[in-house]
């Protein structure tokens, strides 16, 4: 039997999350190739985040953007492919939501296929349309 370490989900404030490991998780999903470790460091310093750890390896990550009073947005929930189906995503969302108490409105954006996953955590679709303005490069 393998001695596989248990997965722990901890806030960034309890166990600092290395930016390079976050960038590696993004890369494994084909997300945000333009993001740098330096940018991730700034985000981690500014807003709540949580990491899922299997030993020393970061196997999941979630963060939020918030005004700290009225609104928060959960962003970048990502789980390494080899640990999916083990409840890591649910634990990450729960850890972020816990850090956002007592903010009354917590929102997130997701692919349509993930709606049932987030509904299990108490999120509901709205009639709002999400618009983005991307900076030109």
Active site residues: 118
Return d(Cα 90, Cα 135) in angstroms, integer.
Answer: 32
Exposed / middle / buried, residue 73 (Cβ in 10 Å: 0-12, 13-18, 19+)? middle
Q: What is the DSSP string of 36-84?
A: -HHHHHHHHHHS-EEEEEETTEEEEEEEEEE-SSSEEEEEEEEE-GGGT
Strand-pair partners of 65: 73
Report yes or no: 106 and 100 within 8 Å, Cβ to Cβ. yes
Return d(Cα 128, Cα 130) in angstroms, integer.
Answer: 6
Of 110, 103, 116, give the one whose Cα is nearest residue 130: 110
């Amino acid at each position: 039997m393998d001695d596989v370490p248990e997965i722990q989900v901890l806030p960034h404030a309890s166990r600092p999350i290395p930016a390079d490991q976050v960038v590696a998780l993004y890369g494994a999903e084909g997300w945000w190739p333009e993001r740098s470790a330096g940018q991730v460091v700034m985000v981690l310093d500014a807003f709540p985040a949580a990491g899922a750890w299997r030993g020393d390896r970061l196997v999941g990550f979630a963060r939020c953007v918030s005004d700290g009073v009225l609104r928060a947005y959960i962003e970048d929930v990502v789980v390494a492919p080899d640990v999916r189906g083990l409840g890591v995503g649910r634990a990450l969302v729960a850890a972020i939501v816990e850090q956002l108490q007592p903010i009354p409105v917590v929102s997130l954006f997701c692919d349509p296929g993930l709606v049932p996953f987030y509904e299990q955590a108490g999120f509901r679709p709205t009639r709002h349309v999400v618009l983005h303005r991307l900076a030109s490069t």
